[in-house]
């Protein structure tokens, strides 16, 4: 088969994944569907047993197909290069056996970083108090993009304190959400000093 490019949406992980499929686009224009939720089902149990949580699975790359797997430690200790290498070895073995992607690709494992994406409903509670950017699939009150301080969730909505007051955004309508890099967020990411007895 000819050269391919990767195109498709970012896939959230968890009970409200926003997209189900991504596609490889071959040079001849044919699409090969890739069920990224299946990839999550393949890798998540092993990573969970290793003490990691899958944050997001996303197709990237225009010239060469790349499958990006973003993960974090369950104990919330910052990720290291060794963590990423261990995850990469495990995922490679699992995907080689299951073979859910029919074409050649590059596997990329990374941490979510400080200004991480928000993909699970519980992320909006976990990071309440921090600034975030949220994009909706369709306009709400004439806008698709919102910025403000996360206030957590109520029912199936995310509460956000913006410049004009509080807004409630439906979880099901969120296509992209990310923490903003602020002094507060940077301070929260600093290692806590060791306590002396």
Q: Where in the sequence is the domain holding 10, given as residue range(s)?
A: 4-110
Each as own residue / partner, the long-range contacts of residues 92-98 (CB below 8 Å, 24 or more positions apart, any chain) are 94/42, 94/43, 94/46, 95/39, 95/42, 95/43, 98/42
Higher model confidence: residue 104 or residue 166?
Answer: 166
- 62 and 33 in a single domain? The answer is yes
User: Alpha-carbon distance 159 to 182, whole Å?
Assistant: 19
Higher model confidence: residue 136 or residue 62?
Answer: 136
Q: Give SS3 for 88.
A: helix
CB 112 within 8 A of CB 55: yes
CATH value at residue 105: 3.30.300.70
User: Alpha-carbon distance 49 to 192, whole Å?
Assistant: 26
What's the rounded mean pLDDT across residues 170-190? 92
Model pLDDT for residues 66-104, shown as the tens digit of each residue? 899 999 999 988 899 999 999 999 999 999 999 988 888
| Residue 194: per-residue pLDDT | 54
When mean pLDDT is compared across 3-17, 43-57, 59-73, the lowest value belongs to: 3-17
Higher model confidence: residue 39 or residue 64?
Answer: 39
Tell me the Ramachandran region of residue 60: left when phi exceeds 0, alpha when psi lies from -120 to 50, beta otherwise: beta
**CA distances from residue 162 to 115, 127, 165, 171, 181 in whole angstroms, order as listed:** 18, 16, 5, 17, 16
The position carrying tokens 């600093």 is 190
- 18 and 83 in a single domain? The answer is yes
**CA distances from residue 125 to 90, 139, 140 in whole angstroms, order as listed:** 30, 23, 22
- 102 and 128 in a single domain? The answer is no
Count other C-beta atoms under 10 Å from residue 2's C-beta.
7
pTM above 0.75, yes or no: no
pLDDT over threshold 90, residue 36: no
Angle between helices 81-98 and 36-49 (to 10 degrees): 130
Q: How many domains does the chain have?
A: 2
Percent of the chain's residues with pLDDT above 90: 61
78, 110, 142: which is the final residue of a domain?
Answer: 110
- 101 and 128 in a single domain? The answer is no
106-110 vs 66-73, strand pairing mode:
parallel
């Amino acid at each position: 088969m000819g050269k391919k490019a990767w195109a498709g949406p970012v896939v959230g992980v968890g009970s409200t994944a926003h997209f189900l499929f991504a596609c490889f686009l071959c040079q001849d224009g044919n699409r090969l569907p890739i069920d990224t939720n299946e990839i999550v089902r393949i890798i998540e149990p092993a990573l969970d047993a290793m003490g990691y949580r899958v944050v997001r699975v996303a197709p990237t790359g225009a010239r060469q197909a790349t499958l990006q797997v973003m993960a974090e430690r369950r104990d919330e200790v910052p990720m290291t290069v060794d963590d990423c290498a261990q995850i990469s070895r495990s995922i490679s073995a699992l995907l080689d056996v299951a073979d859910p992607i029919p074409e050649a690709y590059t596997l990329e494992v990374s941490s979510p970083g400080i200004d991480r994406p928000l993909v699970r409903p519980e992320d909006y509670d976990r990071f309440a108090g921090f600034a975030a950017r949220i994009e909706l699939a369709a306009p709400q009150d004439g806008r698709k993009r919102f910025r403000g301080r996360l206030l957590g969730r109520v029912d199936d909505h995310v509460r956000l304190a913006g410049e004009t007051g509080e807004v409630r955004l439906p979880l099901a309508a969120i296509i992209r959400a990310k923490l903003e890099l602020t002094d507060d967020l940077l301070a929260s990411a600093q290692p806590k000093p060791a306590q002396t007895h």
